[in-house]
Structure 1
Amino acid sequence: MLLHILARGKIGRSAEAELVERYLKRISWPTKLTELADGSRAAPELPPNSVSILLDERGTALSSTQLARKLEEWRDSGKREARFSIGAADGHGEAERSSAGLLLSFGPATWPHLLVRAMLAEQLFRATSILANHPYHREG
Structure 2
Amino acid sequence: MKIDIITVGKLKEKYFVEAVKEYQKRLSAFCKLNIIEVPDKAAPQQSSQKEQEEIKNNEGEKILTKINPQSYVIALEIKGEMLSSEKLAKKLDQLAVTGSSYITFIIGGSLGLSQQVLKKAQLKLSFSPMTFPHQLMRVILLEQVYRAFKINKGEPYHK
Q: TM-score, normalised by structure 2?
A: 0.81
Q: Report the Cα offset of residue 14 of structure 1.
A: 1.1
Q: Report the Cα offset of residue 45 of structure 1.
A: 4.2
Q: Distance in 2 between matches of 1:93 and 1:32?
A: 22
- 1:2 is matched with 2
Contact 2:85-2:148 at 8 Å conserved across structures:
yes
Residue correspondence of structure 1 range 110-129 to structure 2 within 5 A: 110-129=131-150
Contact 1:29-1:128 at 8 Å conserved across structures:
no
Q: Which has the larger radius of gyration?
A: 2
2:19 maps to a residue whose letter is L
More helix by share: 2
Q: Report the Cα offset of residue 24 of structure 1.
A: 1.8
- 2:19 is matched with 19
- Matched residue of 2:62: which SS? coil
CA RMSD of aligned residues (A): 1.4
Q: Distance in 1 between matches of 2:115 and 2:12?
A: 29
Is 1:107 the counterpart of 2:128 in the alignment?
yes
Q: Report the Cα offset of residue 85 of structure 1.
A: 0.4
Percentage of identical aligned residues: 35
What does the per-residue CA deviation read over 1:64-88, in whole Å, with 9 as the maximum and x for residues that have no partner?
Answer: 1100111011111112411000011
Runs of 4+ off more than 3 Å: none
- 1:42 is matched with 62
Q: Distance in 1 between matches of 2:80 and 2:120?
A: 13
Q: Report the Cα offset of residue 49 of structure 1.
A: 3.1
In structure 1, list runs of 5 or more residues that go unmatched: none
- 2:33 is matched with 31
In structure 2, list runs of 5 or more residues that go unmatched: 42-58
Q: Report the Cα offset of residue 13 of structure 1.
A: 5.4
- Matched residue of 1:42: which SS? helix
Contact 1:49-1:80 at 8 Å conserved across structures:
no
What does the per-residue CA deviation read over 1:2-22, in whole Å, with 9 as the maximum and x for residues that have no partner?
Answer: 111111111145101111111
1:57 maps to a residue whose letter is I
